[in-house]
Structure 1
Amino acid sequence: MAAAAAAAAGAPGSTDGAQGLLARSPPGQFDIVAKEIRGIVGADGFPDAAVAAAREAHLKSERPVLEVGKGHFVALCPEGQVGPGKFVDSKRAAVVCVDMVTGKPSEGGDGDGDAAAVLGEAGSPVRAAREAVVGELETYAGHAFSFRGTKHGAVEVFVSGEDLTVVLSGVKTRLDNFWAAQWQSTWTVSGAAGASPSLSGSVRVTTHYFEDGNVQLRAAKDFAAVPLKGAATPEKLAEAVRRAIADTEDAYQAALAAVVQSVEGETMRDLRRAMPLSGQPMAWNLNAHRFRRALPSAKSGAGSSS
Protein backbone atom coordinates (compact mmCIF):
# COMPACT_ATOMS: atom_id res chain seq x y z
CA MET A 1 0.00 0.00 0.00
CA ALA A 2 2.85 2.38 0.82
CA ALA A 3 4.42 1.80 -2.60
CA ALA A 4 1.10 2.50 -4.28
CA ALA A 5 0.72 5.66 -2.24
CA ALA A 6 4.15 6.85 -3.32
CA ALA A 7 3.40 6.14 -6.97
CA ALA A 8 0.06 7.92 -6.77
CA ALA A 9 1.34 10.98 -4.95
CA GLY A 10 1.87 12.70 -8.29
CA ALA A 11 4.02 15.68 -9.09
CA PRO A 12 5.49 17.78 -6.27
CA GLY A 13 2.91 20.23 -4.97
CA SER A 14 -0.01 18.21 -6.38
CA THR A 15 -2.29 16.12 -4.17
CA ASP A 16 -4.67 14.92 -6.90
CA GLY A 17 -3.12 11.46 -7.26
CA ALA A 18 -2.99 10.82 -3.53
CA GLN A 19 -6.54 12.11 -3.06
CA GLY A 20 -7.82 9.71 -5.71
CA LEU A 21 -6.01 6.80 -4.09
CA LEU A 22 -7.36 7.71 -0.66
CA ALA A 23 -10.92 8.12 -1.95
CA ARG A 24 -10.80 4.54 -3.26
CA SER A 25 -9.58 3.06 0.03
CA PRO A 26 -10.79 -0.49 0.79
CA PRO A 27 -13.52 -0.94 3.42
CA GLY A 28 -12.61 0.40 6.85
CA GLN A 29 -9.10 1.43 5.82
CA PHE A 30 -9.42 5.11 4.89
CA ASP A 31 -7.50 6.39 7.92
CA ILE A 32 -4.78 3.76 7.51
CA VAL A 33 -4.20 4.77 3.89
CA ALA A 34 -4.21 8.47 4.87
CA LYS A 35 -1.53 7.78 7.48
CA GLU A 36 0.57 5.89 4.92
CA ILE A 37 0.36 8.74 2.43
CA ARG A 38 1.33 11.33 5.02
CA GLY A 39 4.17 9.11 6.14
CA ILE A 40 5.58 9.31 2.62
CA VAL A 41 4.91 12.91 1.56
CA GLY A 42 4.55 14.53 4.99
CA ALA A 43 1.64 16.45 6.47
CA ASP A 44 2.64 19.56 4.51
CA GLY A 45 2.63 17.58 1.27
CA PHE A 46 -0.84 16.22 2.01
CA PRO A 47 -2.65 18.82 4.14
CA ASP A 48 -5.90 18.50 6.07
CA ALA A 49 -7.87 20.02 3.20
CA ALA A 50 -6.75 17.21 0.88
CA VAL A 51 -7.74 14.55 3.43
CA ALA A 52 -11.16 16.17 3.89
CA ALA A 53 -11.73 16.34 0.13
CA ALA A 54 -10.77 12.68 -0.25
CA ARG A 55 -13.12 11.66 2.57
CA GLU A 56 -15.94 13.59 0.91
CA ALA A 57 -15.39 11.65 -2.32
CA HIS A 58 -15.02 8.39 -0.39
CA LEU A 59 -18.35 8.66 1.40
CA LYS A 60 -20.18 9.52 -1.83
CA SER A 61 -19.24 6.17 -3.35
CA GLU A 62 -18.60 3.92 -0.36
CA ARG A 63 -21.16 5.14 2.23
CA PRO A 64 -19.09 4.16 5.29
CA VAL A 65 -20.65 3.73 8.72
CA LEU A 66 -19.72 5.68 11.84
CA GLU A 67 -20.40 4.70 15.44
CA VAL A 68 -21.75 7.81 17.18
CA GLY A 69 -22.74 6.13 20.42
CA LYS A 70 -22.25 2.72 21.93
CA GLY A 71 -23.81 0.33 19.44
CA HIS A 72 -25.44 3.11 17.39
CA PHE A 73 -24.26 3.56 13.81
CA VAL A 74 -24.92 6.17 11.14
CA ALA A 75 -24.34 5.65 7.42
CA LEU A 76 -22.44 8.65 6.06
CA CYS A 77 -23.98 9.11 2.64
CA PRO A 78 -24.65 11.97 0.23
CA GLU A 79 -28.40 11.37 0.48
CA GLY A 80 -28.30 12.44 4.13
CA GLN A 81 -25.71 15.20 3.96
CA VAL A 82 -27.17 18.61 4.81
CA GLY A 83 -23.98 20.66 5.02
CA PRO A 84 -20.18 20.41 5.19
CA GLY A 85 -19.49 17.60 7.64
CA LYS A 86 -23.17 17.38 8.65
CA PHE A 87 -25.13 14.15 8.19
CA VAL A 88 -28.64 13.21 9.21
CA ASP A 89 -29.15 10.29 11.56
CA SER A 90 -32.57 9.26 10.27
CA LYS A 91 -33.26 6.92 13.19
CA ARG A 92 -32.95 9.70 15.78
CA ALA A 93 -34.01 12.53 13.46
CA ALA A 94 -30.84 14.43 14.39
CA VAL A 95 -27.85 15.89 12.61
CA VAL A 96 -24.40 14.51 13.40
CA CYS A 97 -21.31 16.66 12.89
CA VAL A 98 -18.27 14.80 11.56
CA ASP A 99 -14.67 16.00 11.49
CA MET A 100 -13.85 15.30 7.85
CA VAL A 101 -10.12 15.08 8.60
CA THR A 102 -10.19 12.57 11.47
CA GLY A 103 -13.52 10.97 10.54
CA LYS A 104 -14.76 11.17 14.12
CA PRO A 105 -17.87 12.88 15.50
CA SER A 106 -16.70 16.42 16.17
CA GLU A 107 -17.00 18.21 19.49
CA GLY A 108 -20.45 19.61 20.10
CA GLY A 109 -22.35 16.42 19.24
CA ASP A 110 -25.46 16.87 17.12
CA GLY A 111 -25.38 19.76 14.70
CA ASP A 112 -28.09 22.22 13.78
CA GLY A 113 -28.54 21.39 10.09
CA ASP A 114 -31.96 21.33 8.49
CA ALA A 115 -32.86 17.66 8.97
CA ALA A 116 -36.46 18.30 7.91
CA ALA A 117 -35.29 18.69 4.32
CA VAL A 118 -34.57 14.95 4.11
CA LEU A 119 -36.96 13.65 6.79
CA GLY A 120 -40.16 15.14 5.37
CA GLU A 121 -42.55 17.71 6.72
CA ALA A 122 -44.10 16.90 10.09
CA GLY A 123 -47.53 15.32 9.72
CA SER A 124 -47.15 14.54 6.01
CA PRO A 125 -48.07 11.07 4.68
CA VAL A 126 -44.60 10.54 3.23
CA ARG A 127 -43.00 11.29 6.61
CA ALA A 128 -45.27 8.75 8.29
CA ALA A 129 -44.20 6.22 5.66
CA ARG A 130 -40.53 7.07 6.27
CA GLU A 131 -40.81 6.59 10.02
CA ALA A 132 -42.48 3.21 9.60
CA VAL A 133 -39.92 2.02 7.04
CA VAL A 134 -36.87 3.12 9.05
CA GLY A 135 -38.21 1.35 12.13
CA GLU A 136 -38.80 -1.89 10.22
CA LEU A 137 -35.43 -1.78 8.47
CA GLU A 138 -33.54 -0.98 11.67
CA THR A 139 -34.51 -4.44 12.88
CA TYR A 140 -33.51 -5.95 9.53
CA ALA A 141 -30.12 -4.18 9.55
CA GLY A 142 -29.47 -5.31 13.11
CA HIS A 143 -29.88 -8.90 11.96
CA ALA A 144 -28.13 -8.60 8.58
CA PHE A 145 -25.14 -6.60 9.82
CA SER A 146 -24.22 -8.43 13.00
CA PHE A 147 -21.29 -10.75 13.67
CA ARG A 148 -21.11 -12.76 16.88
CA GLY A 149 -23.56 -10.41 18.52
CA THR A 150 -21.75 -7.22 17.45
CA LYS A 151 -23.50 -4.81 15.11
CA HIS A 152 -21.44 -3.27 12.31
CA GLY A 153 -23.91 -1.63 9.95
CA ALA A 154 -26.61 0.99 9.61
CA VAL A 155 -29.75 1.90 7.70
CA GLU A 156 -30.90 5.38 6.75
CA VAL A 157 -34.21 6.36 5.15
CA PHE A 158 -34.73 9.79 3.60
CA VAL A 159 -37.55 11.62 1.86
CA SER A 160 -37.16 12.84 -1.70
CA GLY A 161 -40.38 14.41 -2.92
CA GLU A 162 -43.01 11.65 -2.82
CA ASP A 163 -40.36 8.91 -2.72
CA LEU A 164 -38.16 7.36 -0.07
CA THR A 165 -34.45 6.62 -0.42
CA VAL A 166 -33.15 3.71 1.64
CA VAL A 167 -29.42 3.29 2.31
CA LEU A 168 -28.11 0.08 3.89
CA SER A 169 -24.40 -0.19 4.66
CA GLY A 170 -22.43 -2.74 6.62
CA VAL A 171 -18.64 -2.80 7.05
CA LYS A 172 -16.72 -5.61 8.74
CA THR A 173 -12.95 -5.60 9.11
CA ARG A 174 -10.52 -8.11 10.58
CA LEU A 175 -7.26 -6.51 9.58
CA ASP A 176 -5.32 -8.78 11.96
CA ASN A 177 -6.59 -11.65 9.80
CA PHE A 178 -5.93 -9.71 6.57
CA TRP A 179 -9.48 -9.15 5.34
CA ALA A 180 -12.21 -6.53 5.16
CA ALA A 181 -15.61 -6.40 3.50
CA GLN A 182 -18.57 -4.13 2.87
CA TRP A 183 -22.15 -4.62 1.72
CA GLN A 184 -24.04 -1.54 0.64
CA SER A 185 -27.38 -1.16 -1.08
CA THR A 186 -29.48 1.81 -2.11
CA TRP A 187 -33.21 1.53 -2.73
CA THR A 188 -35.92 3.86 -3.97
CA VAL A 189 -39.49 3.44 -2.77
CA SER A 190 -41.41 5.27 -5.48
CA GLY A 191 -44.79 6.73 -4.54
CA ALA A 192 -44.31 5.79 -0.90
CA ALA A 193 -47.54 7.46 0.21
CA GLY A 194 -49.50 6.58 -2.91
CA ALA A 195 -51.73 3.70 -3.89
CA SER A 196 -49.17 1.83 -6.03
CA PRO A 197 -45.69 2.04 -4.49
CA SER A 198 -42.76 0.20 -6.05
CA LEU A 199 -39.18 -0.66 -5.11
CA SER A 200 -36.02 -0.48 -7.21
CA GLY A 201 -32.38 -0.32 -6.25
CA SER A 202 -28.83 -1.57 -6.46
CA VAL A 203 -26.36 -3.60 -4.39
CA ARG A 204 -22.57 -3.22 -4.22
CA VAL A 205 -20.25 -5.68 -2.52
CA THR A 206 -16.55 -5.18 -1.85
CA THR A 207 -14.17 -7.67 -0.25
CA HIS A 208 -10.45 -7.19 0.33
CA TYR A 209 -8.04 -10.00 1.20
CA PHE A 210 -4.35 -9.20 1.55
CA GLU A 211 -2.46 -12.08 3.15
CA ASP A 212 0.55 -12.85 0.91
CA GLY A 213 -1.05 -10.76 -1.84
CA ASN A 214 -3.68 -8.13 -2.49
CA VAL A 215 -7.00 -9.31 -3.91
CA GLN A 216 -10.27 -7.41 -4.13
CA LEU A 217 -13.70 -8.52 -5.27
CA ARG A 218 -16.06 -5.77 -6.39
CA ALA A 219 -19.53 -6.78 -7.50
CA ALA A 220 -22.57 -4.66 -8.29
CA LYS A 221 -26.07 -5.27 -9.60
CA ASP A 222 -29.09 -3.09 -10.36
CA PHE A 223 -32.62 -4.27 -9.68
CA ALA A 224 -35.60 -3.06 -11.69
CA ALA A 225 -38.74 -1.75 -10.02
CA VAL A 226 -41.17 -4.27 -8.55
CA PRO A 227 -44.62 -3.43 -7.13
CA LEU A 228 -45.11 -3.46 -3.37
CA LYS A 229 -48.44 -5.18 -2.90
CA GLY A 230 -50.65 -4.85 0.15
CA ALA A 231 -49.04 -1.57 1.25
CA ALA A 232 -52.22 0.28 2.17
CA THR A 233 -50.84 1.71 5.43
CA PRO A 234 -47.37 2.93 6.48
CA GLU A 235 -46.92 -0.20 8.58
CA LYS A 236 -47.91 -2.50 5.70
CA LEU A 237 -45.63 -0.55 3.37
CA ALA A 238 -42.72 -1.00 5.79
CA GLU A 239 -43.30 -4.75 5.96
CA ALA A 240 -43.48 -5.00 2.17
CA VAL A 241 -40.26 -3.00 1.76
CA ARG A 242 -38.42 -5.19 4.27
CA ARG A 243 -39.60 -8.42 2.63
CA ALA A 244 -38.68 -7.23 -0.86
CA ILE A 245 -35.21 -6.03 0.18
CA ALA A 246 -34.49 -9.14 2.25
CA ASP A 247 -35.57 -11.52 -0.53
CA THR A 248 -33.55 -9.64 -3.16
CA GLU A 249 -30.40 -9.36 -1.05
CA ASP A 250 -30.58 -13.00 0.06
CA ALA A 251 -30.90 -14.14 -3.55
CA TYR A 252 -27.99 -11.95 -4.65
CA GLN A 253 -25.78 -13.22 -1.83
CA ALA A 254 -26.60 -16.81 -2.79
CA ALA A 255 -25.71 -16.03 -6.41
CA LEU A 256 -22.36 -14.55 -5.34
CA ALA A 257 -21.65 -17.64 -3.24
CA ALA A 258 -22.35 -19.83 -6.26
CA VAL A 259 -19.93 -17.77 -8.37
CA VAL A 260 -17.19 -18.14 -5.75
CA GLN A 261 -17.76 -21.89 -5.64
CA SER A 262 -17.59 -22.11 -9.43
CA VAL A 263 -14.27 -20.23 -9.44
CA GLU A 264 -12.78 -22.83 -7.12
CA GLY A 265 -14.39 -25.86 -8.72
CA GLU A 266 -14.44 -24.94 -12.42
CA THR A 267 -12.57 -21.77 -13.37
CA MET A 268 -9.33 -22.64 -11.56
CA ARG A 269 -9.52 -26.21 -12.86
CA ASP A 270 -9.88 -24.93 -16.42
CA LEU A 271 -6.73 -22.83 -15.97
CA ARG A 272 -4.65 -25.92 -15.22
CA ARG A 273 -2.61 -27.46 -18.02
CA ALA A 274 -4.36 -30.59 -19.28
CA MET A 275 -1.05 -32.35 -20.04
CA PRO A 276 2.51 -31.69 -18.85
CA LEU A 277 5.06 -30.29 -21.31
CA SER A 278 6.25 -33.82 -22.09
CA GLY A 279 2.84 -34.60 -23.56
CA GLN A 280 2.62 -37.72 -21.40
CA PRO A 281 0.12 -38.20 -18.57
CA MET A 282 1.54 -37.98 -15.08
CA ALA A 283 2.44 -41.44 -13.80
CA TRP A 284 1.14 -41.72 -10.26
CA ASN A 285 3.43 -44.67 -9.50
CA LEU A 286 5.61 -44.32 -6.42
CA ASN A 287 7.99 -47.12 -7.44
CA ALA A 288 8.60 -45.49 -10.82
CA HIS A 289 9.57 -42.22 -9.16
CA ARG A 290 11.88 -44.01 -6.72
CA PHE A 291 13.56 -45.75 -9.66
CA ARG A 292 14.04 -42.43 -11.46
CA ARG A 293 15.66 -40.85 -8.40
CA ALA A 294 18.04 -43.80 -8.19
CA LEU A 295 19.29 -43.42 -11.78
CA PRO A 296 21.82 -40.58 -11.23
CA SER A 297 23.53 -42.44 -8.38
CA ALA A 298 23.70 -45.60 -10.49
CA LYS A 299 25.36 -43.69 -13.36
CA SER A 300 27.88 -42.06 -11.06
CA GLY A 301 28.68 -45.45 -9.54
CA ALA A 302 29.27 -46.95 -12.98
CA GLY A 303 31.58 -44.09 -13.94
CA SER A 304 33.76 -44.47 -10.87
CA SER A 305 34.26 -48.23 -11.36
CA SER A 306 35.57 -47.73 -14.88
Structure 2
Amino acid sequence: MSKSAALSSFIESAPPGELNDVTKAIKSILGDDSVHSELTPAFEKYNETQFTTVKLPGGSGEVLVSEHNTLGDGRYYDSISQTSFEFDHSKQTASAVQSYVPESGHADLIKSLTQSLTTHTQEHYPKCSIGVFPIEDDSQLAILTVANKYSPSNFWNGRWRSSYVYNPSSGSITGTIKVDVHYYEDGNVRLLTNKDVSASVGANATGGDVVRQIAVAEKKYQEDLNKAFASLNEGAFKALRRQLPITRQKIEWEKISGYRVGQDIGGGRSR
Protein backbone atom coordinates (compact mmCIF):
# COMPACT_ATOMS: atom_id res chain seq x y z
CA MET A 1 0.00 0.00 0.00
CA SER A 2 1.36 3.43 -0.95
CA LYS A 3 1.76 6.21 1.59
CA SER A 4 -1.10 8.18 0.04
CA ALA A 5 -3.41 5.16 0.17
CA ALA A 6 -2.47 4.45 3.78
CA LEU A 7 -3.03 8.05 4.86
CA SER A 8 -6.33 8.20 2.97
CA SER A 9 -7.56 5.09 4.79
CA PHE A 10 -6.90 6.83 8.14
CA ILE A 11 -8.90 9.87 7.02
CA GLU A 12 -11.80 7.87 5.61
CA SER A 13 -12.12 5.84 8.82
CA ALA A 14 -12.01 8.84 11.16
CA PRO A 15 -14.70 8.62 13.89
CA PRO A 16 -17.53 11.19 14.00
CA GLY A 17 -16.37 14.68 14.94
CA GLU A 18 -12.71 13.65 15.05
CA LEU A 19 -11.46 14.37 11.54
CA ASN A 20 -9.33 17.31 12.70
CA ASP A 21 -7.79 15.19 15.47
CA VAL A 22 -6.87 12.44 13.01
CA THR A 23 -5.39 14.98 10.58
CA LYS A 24 -3.30 16.58 13.35
CA ALA A 25 -2.07 13.14 14.42
CA ILE A 26 -0.98 12.31 10.86
CA LYS A 27 0.92 15.60 10.55
CA SER A 28 2.54 15.09 13.94
CA ILE A 29 3.67 11.55 13.12
CA LEU A 30 5.04 12.51 9.71
CA GLY A 31 6.36 15.88 10.85
CA ASP A 32 5.10 17.35 7.58
CA ASP A 33 2.33 19.94 7.27
CA SER A 34 2.51 19.82 3.47
CA VAL A 35 0.81 16.41 3.50
CA HIS A 36 -2.49 18.28 3.93
CA SER A 37 -2.85 18.93 0.20
CA GLU A 38 -2.12 15.29 -0.54
CA LEU A 39 -5.15 14.30 1.53
CA THR A 40 -7.67 16.51 -0.29
CA PRO A 41 -9.32 13.62 -2.23
CA ALA A 42 -9.69 11.67 1.02
CA PHE A 43 -11.27 14.68 2.75
CA GLU A 44 -13.80 14.98 -0.07
CA LYS A 45 -14.69 11.29 0.06
CA TYR A 46 -15.03 11.41 3.84
CA ASN A 47 -17.29 14.47 3.86
CA GLU A 48 -19.59 13.16 1.14
CA THR A 49 -19.81 9.68 2.66
CA GLN A 50 -20.39 10.92 6.21
CA PHE A 51 -22.94 13.58 5.17
CA THR A 52 -20.84 16.28 6.81
CA THR A 53 -22.92 19.24 7.95
CA VAL A 54 -21.93 22.88 7.70
CA LYS A 55 -23.50 26.20 8.67
CA LEU A 56 -23.82 28.60 5.76
CA PRO A 57 -22.69 32.21 6.25
CA GLY A 58 -25.75 34.12 7.39
CA GLY A 59 -27.76 30.92 7.77
CA SER A 60 -29.43 29.64 10.93
CA GLY A 61 -29.26 25.87 10.46
CA GLU A 62 -26.77 23.39 9.05
CA VAL A 63 -26.90 21.86 5.58
CA LEU A 64 -25.31 18.60 4.52
CA VAL A 65 -22.71 17.62 1.96
CA SER A 66 -23.11 14.43 -0.09
CA GLU A 67 -22.59 12.95 -3.53
CA HIS A 68 -26.29 13.56 -4.21
CA ASN A 69 -26.21 17.35 -3.96
CA THR A 70 -22.85 18.10 -5.56
CA LEU A 71 -22.67 20.55 -8.45
CA GLY A 72 -19.01 19.80 -9.17
CA ASP A 73 -15.89 21.90 -8.63
CA GLY A 74 -16.40 21.93 -4.87
CA ARG A 75 -19.91 23.39 -4.95
CA TYR A 76 -23.02 21.88 -3.40
CA TYR A 77 -26.63 22.94 -3.06
CA ASP A 78 -29.34 22.80 -0.43
CA SER A 79 -32.90 22.16 -1.60
CA ILE A 80 -34.48 23.65 1.52
CA SER A 81 -32.86 27.09 1.48
CA GLN A 82 -32.54 26.93 -2.34
CA THR A 83 -28.93 28.02 -2.24
CA SER A 84 -25.61 26.71 -3.50
CA PHE A 85 -22.28 27.10 -1.73
CA GLU A 86 -18.60 26.41 -2.03
CA PHE A 87 -17.26 23.87 0.45
CA ASP A 88 -13.68 23.56 1.69
CA HIS A 89 -13.28 19.84 2.38
CA SER A 90 -10.16 20.14 4.52
CA LYS A 91 -11.46 22.98 6.73
CA GLN A 92 -15.12 21.89 6.52
CA THR A 93 -16.30 25.45 5.94
CA ALA A 94 -18.75 26.97 3.46
CA SER A 95 -18.50 30.20 1.49
CA ALA A 96 -19.70 31.95 -1.69
CA VAL A 97 -23.40 31.32 -1.07
CA GLN A 98 -25.65 31.92 -4.06
CA SER A 99 -29.30 31.45 -4.88
CA TYR A 100 -29.95 28.12 -6.57
CA VAL A 101 -33.24 26.41 -7.46
CA PRO A 102 -32.75 22.78 -8.60
CA GLU A 103 -34.70 21.78 -11.68
CA SER A 104 -37.00 18.84 -11.02
CA GLY A 105 -40.36 17.56 -12.17
CA HIS A 106 -40.95 16.47 -8.56
CA ALA A 107 -40.74 19.90 -6.95
CA ASP A 108 -44.04 19.51 -5.05
CA LEU A 109 -43.09 16.04 -3.86
CA ILE A 110 -39.69 17.26 -2.70
CA LYS A 111 -41.39 20.00 -0.69
CA SER A 112 -43.84 17.50 0.82
CA LEU A 113 -41.05 15.07 1.70
CA THR A 114 -39.00 17.86 3.26
CA GLN A 115 -41.87 19.01 5.46
CA SER A 116 -42.73 15.49 6.64
CA LEU A 117 -39.10 14.55 7.19
CA THR A 118 -38.52 17.74 9.19
CA THR A 119 -41.42 16.87 11.50
CA HIS A 120 -40.18 13.29 11.90
CA THR A 121 -36.60 14.24 12.75
CA GLN A 122 -37.61 17.02 15.15
CA GLU A 123 -39.66 14.49 17.10
CA HIS A 124 -36.96 11.82 17.29
CA TYR A 125 -33.53 13.45 17.09
CA PRO A 126 -32.11 16.23 19.29
CA LYS A 127 -30.28 17.81 16.35
CA CYS A 128 -30.57 16.73 12.75
CA SER A 129 -29.92 17.86 9.16
CA ILE A 130 -31.86 16.55 6.19
CA GLY A 131 -31.84 16.75 2.41
CA VAL A 132 -34.09 15.63 -0.43
CA PHE A 133 -32.44 15.66 -3.87
CA PRO A 134 -33.46 14.51 -7.36
CA ILE A 135 -31.09 11.86 -8.75
CA GLU A 136 -30.83 9.51 -11.75
CA ASP A 137 -31.98 12.16 -14.25
CA ASP A 138 -34.85 13.16 -11.96
CA SER A 139 -36.34 9.66 -12.02
CA GLN A 140 -35.68 9.07 -8.31
CA LEU A 141 -35.24 11.04 -5.10
CA ALA A 142 -32.49 10.70 -2.49
CA ILE A 143 -33.72 11.23 1.08
CA LEU A 144 -30.89 11.86 3.55
CA THR A 145 -30.77 12.30 7.32
CA VAL A 146 -27.76 12.85 9.56
CA ALA A 147 -27.82 13.38 13.33
CA ASN A 148 -24.58 14.12 15.18
CA LYS A 149 -23.94 14.25 18.91
CA TYR A 150 -20.45 15.05 20.13
CA SER A 151 -19.23 14.98 23.73
CA PRO A 152 -15.42 15.09 23.61
CA SER A 153 -15.26 16.19 27.26
CA ASN A 154 -16.81 12.84 28.13
CA PHE A 155 -14.71 10.99 25.53
CA TRP A 156 -17.46 9.94 23.12
CA ASN A 157 -18.94 11.02 19.79
CA GLY A 158 -21.71 9.56 17.67
CA ARG A 159 -23.45 9.84 14.33
CA TRP A 160 -26.69 8.48 12.84
CA ARG A 161 -26.96 8.44 9.04
CA SER A 162 -29.84 7.23 6.94
CA SER A 163 -29.98 7.31 3.17
CA TYR A 164 -32.99 6.26 1.10
CA VAL A 165 -33.78 6.22 -2.60
CA TYR A 166 -37.44 6.66 -3.45
CA ASN A 167 -38.82 5.83 -6.89
CA PRO A 168 -42.08 7.80 -7.40
CA SER A 169 -43.12 5.63 -10.35
CA SER A 170 -42.91 2.27 -8.57
CA GLY A 171 -43.32 3.49 -5.00
CA SER A 172 -40.27 1.53 -3.84
CA ILE A 173 -38.03 2.72 -1.01
CA THR A 174 -34.56 1.27 -0.55
CA GLY A 175 -31.86 2.50 1.74
CA THR A 176 -29.41 2.03 4.57
CA ILE A 177 -29.22 3.14 8.20
CA LYS A 178 -25.74 3.55 9.67
CA VAL A 179 -24.74 4.21 13.27
CA ASP A 180 -21.19 5.11 14.29
CA VAL A 181 -20.29 5.67 17.96
CA HIS A 182 -16.78 6.09 19.35
CA TYR A 183 -15.95 5.88 23.07
CA TYR A 184 -12.35 6.49 24.04
CA GLU A 185 -11.97 7.03 27.78
CA ASP A 186 -9.16 4.78 29.05
CA GLY A 187 -9.59 2.66 25.94
CA ASN A 188 -10.89 2.67 22.42
CA VAL A 189 -14.32 1.20 21.68
CA ARG A 190 -16.23 1.80 18.46
CA LEU A 191 -19.68 0.70 17.37
CA LEU A 192 -20.33 0.50 13.62
CA THR A 193 -23.66 -0.85 12.43
CA ASN A 194 -25.47 -1.04 9.08
CA LYS A 195 -29.09 -1.88 8.40
CA ASP A 196 -30.54 -2.26 4.90
CA VAL A 197 -34.11 -1.04 4.47
CA SER A 198 -36.64 -1.99 1.81
CA ALA A 199 -40.28 -0.86 1.72
CA SER A 200 -43.05 0.11 -0.68
CA VAL A 201 -45.78 2.73 -0.59
CA GLY A 202 -47.27 2.26 -4.03
CA ALA A 203 -47.19 4.64 -6.95
CA ASN A 204 -48.12 8.32 -6.55
CA ALA A 205 -47.72 8.28 -2.75
CA THR A 206 -47.47 11.53 -0.81
CA GLY A 207 -44.41 12.71 1.04
CA GLY A 208 -46.14 11.85 4.31
CA ASP A 209 -46.71 8.26 3.15
CA VAL A 210 -43.02 7.84 2.33
CA VAL A 211 -41.78 9.32 5.61
CA ARG A 212 -44.17 7.15 7.63
CA GLN A 213 -42.52 4.04 6.14
CA ILE A 214 -39.11 5.50 6.93
CA ALA A 215 -40.20 6.25 10.51
CA VAL A 216 -41.38 2.66 10.98
CA ALA A 217 -38.05 1.28 9.74
CA GLU A 218 -35.98 3.61 11.93
CA LYS A 219 -38.06 2.95 15.05
CA LYS A 220 -37.72 -0.80 14.51
CA TYR A 221 -33.96 -0.49 14.13
CA GLN A 222 -33.61 1.61 17.27
CA GLU A 223 -35.60 -1.00 19.20
CA ASP A 224 -33.38 -3.78 17.81
CA LEU A 225 -30.28 -1.88 18.90
CA ASN A 226 -31.66 -1.44 22.42
CA LYS A 227 -32.38 -5.17 22.64
CA ALA A 228 -28.89 -5.99 21.39
CA PHE A 229 -27.28 -3.72 24.00
CA ALA A 230 -29.38 -5.28 26.76
CA SER A 231 -28.36 -8.74 25.58
CA LEU A 232 -24.67 -7.79 25.61
CA ASN A 233 -24.96 -6.37 29.10
CA GLU A 234 -26.59 -9.52 30.45
CA GLY A 235 -24.50 -11.90 28.36
CA ALA A 236 -21.03 -11.19 27.03
CA PHE A 237 -20.22 -8.20 29.25
CA LYS A 238 -21.49 -9.92 32.40
CA ALA A 239 -19.37 -12.96 31.59
CA LEU A 240 -16.26 -10.78 31.69
CA ARG A 241 -16.89 -9.84 35.31
CA ARG A 242 -15.77 -12.12 38.14
CA GLN A 243 -18.88 -13.64 39.68
CA LEU A 244 -17.36 -14.45 43.06
CA PRO A 245 -14.71 -12.54 45.05
CA ILE A 246 -12.01 -14.22 47.11
CA THR A 247 -14.48 -14.86 49.94
CA ARG A 248 -16.49 -17.07 47.54
CA GLN A 249 -19.59 -15.06 48.39
CA LYS A 250 -21.61 -13.15 45.84
CA ILE A 251 -21.31 -9.38 45.96
CA GLU A 252 -24.51 -7.43 46.51
CA TRP A 253 -23.83 -4.86 43.82
CA GLU A 254 -26.55 -2.49 44.97
CA LYS A 255 -24.64 -2.17 48.27
CA ILE A 256 -21.20 -1.85 46.67
CA SER A 257 -20.65 1.67 48.01
CA GLY A 258 -20.91 0.35 51.56
CA TYR A 259 -18.22 -2.32 51.27
CA ARG A 260 -14.83 -1.82 52.83
CA VAL A 261 -12.86 -3.10 49.88
CA GLY A 262 -9.86 -4.54 51.71
CA GLN A 263 -11.79 -6.26 54.46
CA ASP A 264 -15.28 -7.15 53.20
CA ILE A 265 -14.39 -8.10 49.63
CA GLY A 266 -10.80 -9.21 50.00
CA GLY A 267 -11.41 -11.15 53.18
CA GLY A 268 -8.79 -9.25 55.17
CA ARG A 269 -8.92 -8.05 58.75
CA SER A 270 -9.17 -4.47 59.90
CA ARG A 271 -6.14 -3.09 61.70
> Per the shorter chain, which TM-score range?
0.7 to 0.9
From 195, 211, 216, the equivalent of 1:221 is 195
Matched residue, 1:211: 185
| Partner SS state of residue 68, structure 2 | helix
Alignment partner of 1:282 is 2:248:
yes
Alignment partner of 1:75 is 2:64:
yes
Which has the greater radius of gyration? Answer: 1
- What are the equivalent positions in structure 2 for 1:101-116 lying under 5 Å apart? 101-106=90-95, 108-110=96-98
Distance 1:185 1:282, change over 3 A: same
From 240, 254, 257, the equivalent of 2:223 is 254
Distance 1:289 1:137, change over 3 A: closer
| Aligned pairs, number | 256
Q: Please state how far the C-alpha of 1:42 moved relative to its aligned partner.
A: 3.6
Matched residue, 2:46: 58
- CA deviations on 1:110-145 (whole Å, 9 max, x unpaired) are 3x8xx66xx443xx2x22212221222123233333
Distance 1:19 1:273, change over 3 A: same
TM-score, structure 2 normalization: 0.82
Alignment partner of 1:86 is 2:75:
yes
> How far, CA to CA, are the matches of 2:248 and 2:230 in structure 1?
27
> How far, CA to CA, are the matches of 2:264 and 2:63 in structure 1?
63
Q: Please state how far the C-alpha of 1:283 moved relative to its aligned partner.
A: 4.4
Distance 1:210 1:90, change over 3 A: same
Q: Which piece of structure 1 moves more, 254-263 or 51-60?
A: 51-60
Matched residue, 1:135: 115
Verify the 8 A CA contact 2:129 2:147 in the aligned structure 1: yes
- CA deviations on 1:158-196 (whole Å, 9 max, x unpaired) are 112321111111111011111100000111111x2x4x5
| Partner SS state of residue 38, structure 1 | helix
Matched residue, 2:159: 182
| Partner SS state of residue 101, structure 1 | coil
Q: Please state how far the C-alpha of 1:59 moved relative to its aligned partner.
A: 2.1
Give the AA of the match of 1:30: L
> How far, CA to CA, are the matches of 1:59 and 1:71 in structure 2?
21
Alignment partner of 1:239 is 2:214:
no
> How far, CA to CA, are the matches of 2:201 and 2:250 in structure 1?
60
Q: If each structure's helix is expressed as a fraction of its own residues, which one has the higher value?
A: 1
> How far, CA to CA, are the matches of 1:20 and 1:220 in structure 2?
19
| Partner SS state of residue 113, structure 2 | helix
Q: Please state how far the C-alpha of 1:242 moved relative to its aligned partner.
A: 1.5
Q: Please state how far the C-alpha of 1:95 moved relative to its aligned partner.
A: 1.2
> How far, CA to CA, are the matches of 1:141 and 1:275 in structure 2?
46
From 188, 193, 202, the equivalent of 2:176 is 202
From 149, 154, 160, the equivalent of 2:129 is 154
% same residue: 23
Verify the 8 A CA contact 1:34 1:51 in the aligned structure 2: no
> How far, CA to CA, are the matches of 2:122 and 2:249 in structure 1?
55
- CA deviations on 1:17-66 (whole Å, 9 max, x unpaired) are 2222012111011122212222332444413x223222112123222211
> How far, CA to CA, are the matches of 1:289 and 1:214 in structure 2?
33
Verify the 8 A CA contact 2:70 2:76 in the aligned structure 1: yes
Verify the 8 A CA contact 1:91 1:135 in the aligned structure 2: no
Runs (5+) with no aligned partner, structure 1: 1-9, 295-306
